[in-house]
Structure 1
Amino acid sequence: MASRVTLEKTLHKAPAHATHLGRTPSGNVISVSVIVRRKNPLKLSELKGRRLSHAEFNAQYAANPADFENIRVFAKNHGLSVDEAASSLPRRTIVLKGTAEAMEQAFGVQLNSYEDTRHKKRFHAFEGTISVPEDHAPAIEAVLGLDSRPIATPHFRRRDDSADPDKRKKQQPTTPSLQPQPFSAVQVGQLYGFPTNLNGSGQTIGILELGGGYTDSDLQTYFQGVGLSTPNVTAVSVDGGSNSPGDPNGADGEVELDIEVAGSVANAANIAVYFAPNTDQGFIDAITTAVHDTTNKPSVLSISWGGPESAWSAASVTALDNACQSAGALGVTITVASGDSGSSDGTNGTVVDFPASSPHVLACGGTELFANGTSIAEEVVWDDQPQGGATGGGFSGSFAVPTWQASALPSGSSGRGVPDVSGDASPESGYNIIVDGQPQVVGGTSAVAPLYAGLIALANQQLASQNSPSAGFINPTLYENASAFNDITQGNNGAYSAGPGWDACTGLGSPKGAAIVTALAAVVATAASGS
């Protein structure tokens, strides 16, 4: 019998906020996604801004069929079946199914059942590491699904109208007479100078959701209310996830916020909503499904879910970041909310939210916006703590400072800085939306990710009119065009304070929409021409 080896980065700690219920029943059927290595290493910088077609990507950077065959042999040897329909060489994902007992023997783990004490969700998990026979180990990058603990939370916050506004701890404007007020997403786009000659026509915005749902009637009511047509919205199931509305206190607020904000900014764009279970397996499978979706073809993907970077396994962090690298190579921009719990991200230290901390996504922080008619009167860091939340931000413990960010960060920064950009997120200056038939005012950095996704869809429409490829991985361009942002210099998110230039509260600042579109159009067109 071949000796077994431990897979790197697979150490899992016992679940926090969970009650141990005993061993997972041996006959329970479990599905795992085995992420297989690429044919060749992928480094976005070596592409020098070039976007790959799906055919080019698959030829160079998909999984090797021989590695899939290797995993099929592994599965057969351990009494597991291969779900070929759910497996994909471009996604580098081969899906195995079997009983808990067979999975334990195959991967050298002991599965236990738990109940999440906060959400009352039951799940299975393991402590320790994963091992496999040494003949199969080199092909495997990650094994997802042996731990099904909830990994992320939606980053939206409802305005608490029951609280006394004068007693809410929040960052005050320098002009005392200014009072925050909620806006429609259309008004926010106007305040930020989003181009009015573009509407996202010909583009698809992807939105990732790990729970909740939307109703057609809610969307029709909302868009009629802001004087726009209702976009074409398609629900895509990943790993059995589905559009499941009906809980007004659950994630419906996230789902409908995302659709209504993105659809207000880029009203003629199609919207594809990828629903997946709230696990690291579901999260990563949803990203790879969206990025390699040749039916809906999203050119930008908005993610408003995440969790403390420190709570993820190293293998899951690597696998998800690699999926985001694939997105960049294929010309898909990913926008991610930076979190709503300030510099601690709900922990006892200074922790950034993941996947916002991935160096291959656009991390979106939050501000509080004060308007004077149709213009911005003032903008400060969103900080309503301890009751109302604050923008996430700080420095990654998993990723080094990217080259494109190095000159913007404070001297001596050890990790990737979060966020990159920001926008209106305070519930006090939040977004008027419709959720489960009721009007609500909702904020959170969850609103900022779809806001930028809509803006990028406008940029991609402009690029398409120039016969240029989509914007793709835009971070280097944005850091070279800091003047395309409103610099936020007032406020803090706990451990970090805003100041001139990039900061760990609001990044480069809030958008000057037309200037960002112009900058992206110029850079992408130049790269496409090879000049």
Structure 2
Amino acid sequence: MFWSSALVLGLTHLCLSTPLTSKRLDTDDLLEKHSWAEVPRGWEWVNKPDPESIIQLRIGLKQDRVDELISSLYEVSTPNHNRYGKHLSKEEVDVLVAPHPDSVEAVESWLLHHGVDPTDATFRSSSGSWISVLVSVSKAEQMLGTEYGLYHHPQSSSYVVRTLSYSLPRELHQAISVVSPTTYFGTLRSMRATSFVEADISDQVADISATVPSSCASRITIACLQALYNTSGYIPSATDSNSLGVVGYLGEYANRNDLQTFLTRYRTDAVGTAFETITVNNGEDDQSEPGVEANLDIQYTVGLSYPTPNIYYSTGGSPPFNPDSETITDTNEPYLDWLNYILANDTIPQTFTTSYGDDEQTVPYDYAVSVCNLFAELGARGSTVFFSSGDSGVGGGDCLMNDGTNTTLFQPAFPASVTAVGGTTGNSPEVGVSFSGGGFSRYFGIPSYQADVVAGYVSSLGSEYSGLYNTSGRAYPDLAAQGTSFSVIVGGQTYSVGGTSASSPTMAGIFTLLNDYRLANNQSSLGFINPLIYANSGGFNDITSGSNPGCDTNGFTAVTGWDPVTGLGTPDFVKLQAIVRA
């Protein structure tokens, strides 16, 4: 998701805010901001919403110095740079992402013209780059030159109010990056959690005396991961300054009793350890409804990082929309709510893991860039962010484009290109698991840190899959970890769970230990790790077999070096200790 400095300069006209050339705002001179050629696949139009229903309109203003933010991100994240590890404070980041004063004036004038008092905003980010206001559907339609519809997503039973296109006064295109809810149809319910329950397993305790317990051939526990990734002898000590955040959606709740059962069976020295739950945007913490995804995440992050503090962010939205209601309640925007919440905090965890995502093509480009810039803020402040790479290989379903052409192409994931974690299976040796998401973005170009390894892989493919993927796109995954047969306690019972949802929290747990190691040695946290890991691939176990089929193809193949199935490979904690301490 993050791009090279050269690409940033090339995209300046798309990403930066510039002073408006005129104080007069012609609200009648509308220019389209984004549109879909057809209703996004999986959704169907139901009817027109009540024009007096209220929605929360989120306005993302263009960030005046975001090029400096990206430059700073790379400088503080690149080994051997004189700024390496010198992460920015919240206040320093806010200065770089604040909109130009002329942009603020133009947006507020636009709101006032439509009878919306900007002082009544329900939310303003500390930098001023995001503002939320409550307006009626009819008012939003007037402001955006559009028509809203009520749409249904039968697979997830979601109802949302969205548009197929929206426009802004021509001059506001210089001031506004994105407005939502508009054309992004993702919701908490329609986002995919990248985990699935496998066949039932017996309830055994691993033999931790073996180098790699024999039971790990059929199921994964904490002991298996400690042995595979060489963390067994490490005891964290910087627990007052280090923490790990798990971001949860979909009404998934991490259960405290299940965690104790899990620790009793698989990490006895950690029994009694608790995690903190923070609710975001009306999230809940219903201990009577343990979630498979949430329990998988928290059981393995706690189990691997103990005694480091863990925080589970239960990220909600509005209650499910009732199509017979006169009040629109489900206009929630995934990613935006949690990102704006966490960035408003002065102190944030050094490591995060998230196991939810969309197909990149379902996310409007301007929305994707805005979310990307928010993740850049996290990285600049010293946080490492892991995302599951997805469970559909190079693409699930028919892989048809949604631009009206019905062209079949590989479908990259979003936002798996922050630091994306693919999946492996087995241990003698580990191989890339067939569902491991991987590929090449069509939105973001190859960053400089991975240019050489990606070019080498693309060259090795020759004409294979020519035209099905973007040869110059940001490639993922970056790393990989086990992704099958994880023993998870849910409602007191043991389940076998698979997916890159298991891989991402595993990686987060290991890098939390690496952050602990640095902090204990009076160094900074690692932050955005991609430049570091691509310059030090020797810290990982190279995975050289496996493939990720999809789109009626065999998909990509794991090879020596980086590949779009397992990235640079799986972690070796001891080798990485030497790298991050240098």
Tell me what 2:283 maps to. Answer: 241
Confirm or deny that 1:16 pairs with 2:41: yes
Instruction: Give the letter for the 2:74 counterpart.
Output: S
Confirm or deny that 1:187 pairs with 2:262: no
Confirm or deny that 1:32 pairs with 2:57: yes
Confirm or deny that 1:116 pairs with 2:153: yes
- What per-residue deviation string (whole Å, max 9, x for no partner) do you get for residues 297-349 of structure 1? 21111111011111111112111111111112111111010001111144423
Measure, in 2, the Cα distance between the counterparts of 1:59 and 1:214. 36
Tell me what 2:323 maps to. Answer: none
| 1:79–1:98 Cα contact (<8 Å) kept | no
- Which of 164, 189, 201 is the matching residue for 2:239? 201
- Corresponding residue SS for 1:343: coil
- Which of 54, 73, 76 is the matching residue for 2:112? 76
- Corresponding residue SS for 1:206: strand
| 1:277–1:283 Cα contact (<8 Å) kept | no
| 2:61–2:99 Cα contact (<8 Å) kept | yes
Confirm or deny that 1:225 pairs with 2:247: no
Measure, in 1, the Cα distance between the counterparts of 2:117 and 2:337. 19
Tell me what 2:339 maps to. Answer: 287
- What per-residue deviation string (whole Å, max 9, x for no partner) do you get for residues 403-434 of structure 1? 100111124532111111001002xxx21111
| 1:125–1:149 Cα contact (<8 Å) kept | no
Measure, in 2, the Cα distance between the counterparts of 1:437 and 1:62. 48
Deviation at 1:461, TM superposition (A): 1.3
Instruction: Give the letter for the 2:571 counterpart.
Output: P
- What per-residue deviation string (whole Å, max 9, x for no partner) do you get for residues 99-154 of structure 1? 111111112221101221101121111112x2223454322111122355435210
Measure, in 2, the Cα distance between the counterparts of 1:66 and 1:186. 57
Measure, in 1, the Cα distance between the counterparts of 2:31 and 2:524. 42
Instruction: Give the letter for the 2:371 counterpart.
Output: L
Tell me what 2:525 maps to. Answer: 470
CA-based RMSD of the aligned residues comes to 2.6
Deviation at 1:206, TM superposition (A): 1.6
Identity %: 26
Confirm or deny that 1:59 pairs with 2:95: yes
Give TM-score, length-normalised by structure 1.
0.85
- What per-residue deviation string (whole Å, max 9, x for no partner) do you get for residues 233-288 of structure 1? 3333333333356556xxx2111111111111111222222333578823122123
Tell me what 1:366 maps to. Answer: 423
Measure, in 1, the Cα distance between the counterparts of 2:222 and 2:198. 16
| 1:345–1:392 Cα contact (<8 Å) kept | no
Tell me what 2:324 maps to. Answer: none
In structure 1, the gaps of 5 or more residues are 163-176, 371-376, 384-389, 523-531
Deviation at 1:489, TM superposition (A): 1.1
| 2:256–2:274 Cα contact (<8 Å) kept | no
Residues 189/63 of structure 1: CA separation in 2 closer, same or farther (3 Å cut):
farther
Instruction: Give the letter for the 1:335 counterpart.
Output: F
Task: Trace 1:328-367 onto structure 2 (pairs within 5 A).
Answer: 328-348=379-399, 349-357=409-417, 361-367=418-424
Instruction: Give the letter for the 1:53 counterpart.
Output: S
- Which of 349, 357, 365 is the matching residue for 1:306? 357
| 2:424–2:566 Cα contact (<8 Å) kept | yes
| 1:478–1:516 Cα contact (<8 Å) kept | no
Instruction: Give the letter for the 2:353 counterpart.
Output: S
Confirm or deny that 1:496 pairs with 2:556: yes
Deviation at 1:292, TM superposition (A): 4.1
Residues 222/40 of structure 1: CA separation in 2 closer, same or farther (3 Å cut):
same
Deviation at 1:401, TM superposition (A): 1.1
**How many pairs align?**
485
Residues 294/404 of structure 1: CA separation in 2 closer, same or farther (3 Å cut):
same
Confirm or deny that 1:406 pairs with 2:451: yes
- Corresponding residue SS for 1:288: helix
Give TM-score, length-normalised by structure 2.
0.77
Tell me what 2:4 maps to. Answer: none
- Corresponding residue SS for 1:322: helix
Measure, in 1, the Cα distance between the counterparts of 2:223 and 2:535. 28
Confirm or deny that 1:321 pairs with 2:372: yes
Residues 100/261 of structure 1: CA separation in 2 closer, same or farther (3 Å cut):
same
Tell me what 2:125 maps to. Answer: 88
Measure, in 1, the Cα distance between the counterparts of 2:373 and 2:35. 16
| 2:150–2:162 Cα contact (<8 Å) kept | yes
- Which of 480, 484, 498 is the matching residue for 1:422? 480
Residues 259/179 of structure 1: CA separation in 2 closer, same or farther (3 Å cut):
closer
Instruction: Give the letter for the 2:480 counterpart.
Output: S
Measure, in 1, the Cα distance between the counterparts of 2:486 and 2:128. 35
- Corresponding residue SS for 1:408: helix
Deviation at 1:80, TM superposition (A): 3.7
| 2:40–2:362 Cα contact (<8 Å) kept | no
Confirm or deny that 1:433 pairs with 2:488: yes
- Corresponding residue SS for 2:335: helix
Measure, in 2, the Cα distance between the counterparts of 1:89 and 1:38. 13
Task: Trace 1:377-388 onto structure 2 (pairs within 5 A).
Answer: 377-383=428-434
Measure, in 2, the Cα distance between the counterparts of 1:467 and 1:110. 56
| 2:57–2:134 Cα contact (<8 Å) kept | yes
Residues 448/319 of structure 1: CA separation in 2 closer, same or farther (3 Å cut):
same
Task: Trace 1:234-273 onto structure 2 (pairs within 5 A).
Answer: 234-244=276-286, 252-273=291-312
Tell me what 1:214 maps to. Answer: 254
| 1:308–1:345 Cα contact (<8 Å) kept | no
Tell me what 2:502 maps to. Answer: 447
Instruction: Give the letter for the 1:187 counterpart.
Output: C
Instruction: Give the letter for the 2:43 counterpart.
Output: A
Tell me what 2:9 maps to. Answer: none
Tell me what 1:520 maps to. Answer: 580
| 2:256–2:287 Cα contact (<8 Å) kept | no
Instruction: Give the letter for the 1:438 counterpart.
Output: Q
In structure 2, the gaps of 5 or more residues are 1-25, 202-213, 318-330, 400-408, 460-470, 550-554
